[in-house]
Amino acid sequence: IKPVLCEVTLEMRCLISELVWLK
């Protein structure tokens, strides 16, 4: 499940979050 930080935080944070989650 992907975090909803993407919608709350900026796009940059979203990308980092996704990368971390993928790892």
Contact 17, 3 (CB under 8 A): yes
Q: For 13-21, which contacts have Cβ atoms below 8 Å and span 24 or more sequence positions?
A: none
Q: Is pLDDT of 21 > 60?
A: yes
How confident is the model over 8-19, as pLDDT tens digits?
556 666 777 777
Q: Is pLDDT of 23 > 70?
A: no
**Model confidence pTM above 0.95:** no
pLDDT for 4 equals 58
**Euclidean distance between CA atoms 5 and 18, whole angstroms:** 10
